[in-house]
């Protein structure tokens, strides 16, 4: 692939985030369909990318697409086009479900194409947008050949019923709601365990410490565990090791984790935020629960924990649902179609 691609997807954040994860997973798939490169700090080697200086000095021989997903990236695209006179068509994808600031609205008005990851996010853009929902790579996220053997390799109990909740440990993610539900349910269900993965930032350390103190006081520290931030391959393996996934967030832009779990054949429980209601088929591939309601979450967990056969059937249905409707290949093709329209403009 040349150093002068048709599409540049900036990622101006070094630490792992939902946006960064999208870029890392999507660009290699899109690269099979169009000449695209990511740019920015800390991108892994498997992602086709170019240095930021190269993106800033693209030749002016033709139009290209600058596909931003953050305010900083929209702003940089404007600088490259208006100050450095690079020939970039500007495109922005938004997952935010909140009213944008005045500066963000101004940046959005400068874009030539807008994409929203959900109908709710589109409603906050105040301009027409195409809806392209996120997908997952079903070749990476898939059920394991032998779940018990995988658990032994990961140091997990092969006979447990494992509930997972993956993402940063903070109140926004509803971690405390799942802990509260676990404290109620686990004493009467000796096979059940809960695993949290994700970084605990300094500003949320007190929140996490308080939860761990409550867990220890209940004598459940060996069954409700915080594993910290895991390397990518081990994170995928932990998805595959689960029996049930919980995403009880109080707020979410899109929320990819239930899709990743369902692709691994794991039924998912999600609250009424982000795209969860569009992703999870209530009663078939998991459950939708009321946002911020520990009682609703507890009831859904109990339902799936207490019926092994229903849980297994929901896992199979979840995998089939994601494969049919939410693969990353579908997302990639939809975005490439938008790039093609922008590149064809006179």
Domain boundaries, the chain: 7-135+327-344, 147-325
Judge whether residue 339 has pLDDT over 70.
Answer: yes
CA 182 – CA 176 distance, rounded (Å): 10
Lowest-confidence segment of 14-18, 172-176, 221-225, 308-312 by average pLDDT? 14-18
Run of H or E residues at 134: none
Q: Which residues contact 127 (CB under 8 A, 6 or more apart)?
A: 108, 109, 114
Judge whether residue 14 has pLDDT over 80.
Answer: no
| Closest by CA position to 116, among listed 135, 97, 102, 101 | 97
Judge whether residue 1 has pLDDT over 50.
Answer: no
Amino acid 51: pLDDT: 95
On whether the CB atoms of residues 223 and 192 are closer than 8 A, the answer is yes
- Burial of residue 270 (CB within 10 Å: 0-12, 13-18, 19+) is buried
CA 343 – CA 338 distance, rounded (Å): 9
CATH class in words for 147-325: alpha beta
Amino acid 16: pLDDT: 63
Sign of torsion, CA 161 225 318 286?
positive
Evaluate whether 7-135+327-344 and 147-325 have a shared fold: yes
Amino acid 280: pLDDT: 96
Lowest-confidence segment of 16-20, 25-29, 87-91, 245-249 by average pLDDT? 16-20
* Mean model confidence pLDDT for the chain: 94
How confident is residue 18, by pLDDT bands cut at 50, 70 and 90?
confident
- Max CA distance (Å), the chain: 69
Percent of the chain exceeding pLDDT 90 equals 86
Number of H helices, E strands in the chain: 14, 13
Fold of 7-135+327-344: Rossmann fold (3.40.50)
pTM over 0.85: no
Mean per-residue pLDDT, 299-322: 98
Mean per-residue pLDDT, 6-18: 85
How confident is residue 343, by pLDDT bands cut at 50, 70 and 90?
very high
Judge whether residue 21 has pLDDT over 90.
Answer: no
pLDDT digits (tens, 9 = 90+) for 136-185: 999 999 999 999 999 999 999 999 999 999 999 999 999 999 999 999 99
| Closest by CA position to 118, among listed 137, 133, 100 | 133
Percent of the chain exceeding pLDDT 70 equals 99
Helix (H, G, I), strand (E, B) or coil at 284: coil
What residues does 161 pair with on adjacent strands? 192
CA 207 – CA 325 distance, rounded (Å): 37
Which range has the top average pLDDT, 1-5, 9-13, 178-182?
Answer: 178-182
Amino acid 2: pLDDT: 59
pLDDT digits (tens, 9 = 90+) for 43-98: 888 899 999 999 999 999 999 999 999 999 999 999 999 999 999 999 999 988 88
On whether the CB atoms of residues 275 and 22 are closer than 8 A, the answer is no
On whether the CB atoms of residues 65 and 89 are closer than 8 A, the answer is yes
């Amino acid at each position: 692939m040349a150093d002068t691609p048709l599409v540049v997807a900036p990622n101006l954040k070094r630490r792992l985030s939902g946006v960064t994860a999208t870029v890392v997973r999507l660009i290699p798939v899109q690269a099979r369909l169009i000449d695209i490169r990511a740019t920015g700090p800390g991108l892994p080697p498997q992602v086709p990318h170019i240095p930021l200086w190269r993106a800033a000095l693209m030749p002016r021989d033709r139009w290209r697409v600058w596909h931003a997903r953050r305010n900083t990236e929209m702003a940089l695209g404007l600088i490259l086009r208006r100050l450095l006179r690079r020939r970039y068509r500007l495109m922005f994808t938004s997952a935010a479900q909140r009213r944008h600031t005045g500066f963000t609205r101004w940046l959005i008005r400068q874009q030539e194409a807008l994409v929203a990851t959900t109908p709710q996010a589109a409603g906050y853009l105040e301009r027409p947008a195409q809806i392209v929902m996120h997908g997952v790579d079903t070749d990476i996220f898939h059920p394991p050949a032998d779940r018990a053997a995988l658990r032994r390799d990961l140091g997990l109990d092969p006979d447990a019923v494992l509930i997972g909740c993956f993402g940063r440990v903070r109140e926004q993610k509803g971690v405390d709601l799942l802990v509260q539900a676990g404290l109620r349910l686990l004493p009467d269900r000796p096979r059940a365990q809960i695993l949290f993965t994700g970084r605990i930032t300094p500003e949320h350390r007190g929140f996490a410490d308080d939860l761990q103190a409550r867990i220890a006081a209940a004598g459940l520290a060996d069954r409700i565990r915080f594993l910290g931030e895991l390397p990518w391959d081990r994170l995928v393996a932990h998805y595959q090791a689960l029996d049930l996934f919980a995403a009880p967030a109080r707020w979410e832009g899109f929320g990819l984790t239930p899709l990743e779990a369902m692709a691994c054949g794991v039924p998912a429980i999600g609250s009424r935020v982000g795209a969860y209601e569009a992703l999870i088929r209530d009663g078939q591939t998991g459950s939708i629960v009321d946002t911020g309601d520990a009682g609703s979450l507890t009831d859904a967990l109990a339902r799936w924990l207490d019926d092994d056969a229903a849980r297994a059937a929901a896992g199979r249905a979840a995998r089939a649902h994601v494969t049919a409707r939410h693969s990353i290949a579908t997302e990639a093709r939809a975005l490439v179609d938008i790039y093609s329209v922008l590149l064809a403009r006179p």
